[in-house]
Structure 1
Amino acid sequence: MAKKTKEPLLEIVDLKKHFDLGGTLRKKKILTAVDGVTFTIYKGETFGLVGESGCGKTTTGRTIIRLYNPTGGKILYEGVDLATLNNKQMFPFRRKIQMIFQDPYASLNTRMTVTDIIGEGIDTHNLLQGKERQERIFELLEKVGLKREHANRYPHEFSGGQRQRIGIARSLAINPDLIICDEPISALDVSIQAQVVNMLEDLQEEFDLTYLFIAHDLSMVRHISDRIGVMYLGKLMEITTSDELYDNPRHPYTKSLLSSIPIPDPRSSIRESRIILEGDVGNPINPKPGCRFASRCRYAKDRCRQETPELVEIEPDHFVACHFVDEIND
């Protein structure tokens, strides 16, 4: 069973990932996809990362695993700063950190059999060979709800849900400690999503895994996460425990997100509490100083448009980036 501790496994400190979009010498266009993100993931827990499409969730995950090289900041894995390592030095850490990708159709090589897809990491790290390798692949297929006879088939012979299960088996093949789940259920049918999430929870307990769970489905994130971070345009707006976030949201953006969760009864009075955001979404290209949410926040003041708020602990384990958080929540 996964043991949750207060021992940090991954510490992200002021992480930045900017993309140079060109432009002129006088004015370069810089896309600030991730712009100073800080959070900690403890061993055995699931840390959820939520926000609108384009807020930088996936870029954060890909930068942590070094699919993207960070522009700045630290990625401390058990005290080692991955941001400073070259490809050769990163090699042993790639066994410790794996990723489940969002699109099960694009993330599997159509020319490879399931055996080759799952076994690729085993071969790369020279873990098992021959019969032991094949038995490991069979074992992983059964762990994710597939059968041994599926091993010699190709990705096009499977449904989306089955493909994602293959992707999950691939991520488990080299016994990682941390798995970055990049919206692993968003491309799946609703009828299958719960099955995959329940399977991820079972695997976490069995293999003592730690998850970074990236998603925009707030109800599903609450189900699986111990703590949640809310992102908006490359910045973290709020971090706290799952129950605290849903029961006592403090940032205006978090409140608007939670109010948008669909409810089963459309006649319910809860619908009257919907928060409709007005104003324009800020531009992540060469952003102006101030709070990224200021252009859509009904509480915004001059200070919000001039000074970027820091992520501050307002209560134990509850962090909020808002200049007027106490005034708003009186």
Structure 2
Amino acid sequence: MRQLFGEHGRMAAAAVIAGLFAVILLYPEGILKLLGGFSVTSGVTDTSETREILQKLSKKGSPKLAVENKVLEIGDSILLQDMVTEASHGTSPDLQEQVRYYLEDGTEVNGSYEISGDKPGVIRIRFVLIGEDYMETWKSGYIQVQSRKADPQITALIEEWEMGEEGEDVRARLYKKEDETLFLSLEGKGRVKSLNQDTVPWKEMRETIEACRIEKGIEIKRMDGWFYQCRSLKEIPWMPETAESFRYTFKGCGQLRAAGIPGGAKDIEGMYEDCGNLELTGPIPSGVRNCRNTFKNCGKLKGSVELLGCPAQYEGCFLQAATNVGDFCLQLVADREDKAAAAEAMYKEAVNDNSSCRIFVRKI
């Protein structure tokens, strides 16, 4: 009985204290008048100071904190401080630095903490603002993560890497799709740092990547070995015209059936070497200076290739190419003798290497 009374007593005391505080906030003038009627003899309490504090509290009210809920697509990210739209109190219009952030598990983090959407779902955040005179208020918010509109089949973000030069916002993201295949996406804008087959961040997972996309606005100078031995890759991505070097970019990509070479290319040595299922390709651009081994061992290559320029280095360009199909036409698009000589040399080298390869030159 004593324990029960004690619990009820504590609850009643708490209620009384809360009620007194509410009365002070709602009727400060009356309280001040009441306080003014008492005479202070001890010298410890100053009625004017108390009156001033109460007046300040009545004017300030509670701290103001407003947050905006966010919707992210898989792969996108946001800083928690970007969710806060207002944090003020009294004479302090900007108290964003005083906001505290708590994750769902209660972990406290700072405003620069980045939330990334790695799979669909809802992420809840608690925001607490400590205002003037240690007054406190809080809000709850959430971040909803949904599938990407452009790629609704994407279900999860597996890995993410910084790809841009210093100060550039370019990222490579590896996604999982509904069919459990992996999709590599280069996203953002700006210049990409120099990478090759040994330094690309996805090299440990290269054999499981089935598709790739490079967004417009990304500037690439060299793509040497980027997709080297990506044995599951089924199509080549769009490649920017700013790229000049493609040495061994798709070497060993055995699932590719169609190829292409960007117009700004200058060095395409081994670009499609050992692509055993490659059947079709676009023209060899006029700016290409080195096409050694470009289509070496592409046994199913057929149709025709336009030679738009005159490569200075072309040894092995079509070695062991078109060995399984029959006719293959290397078209010469111009009437310059040096280009004709280069095409003839490519033809003779291929025929001498494998007599079943029926490549011939046609001037147009």
Task: Report the TM-score, using the length of structure 2 for normalisation.
Answer: 0.22
In terms of fraction of residues, the more strand-rich structure is 2
In terms of fraction of residues, the more helix-rich structure is 1
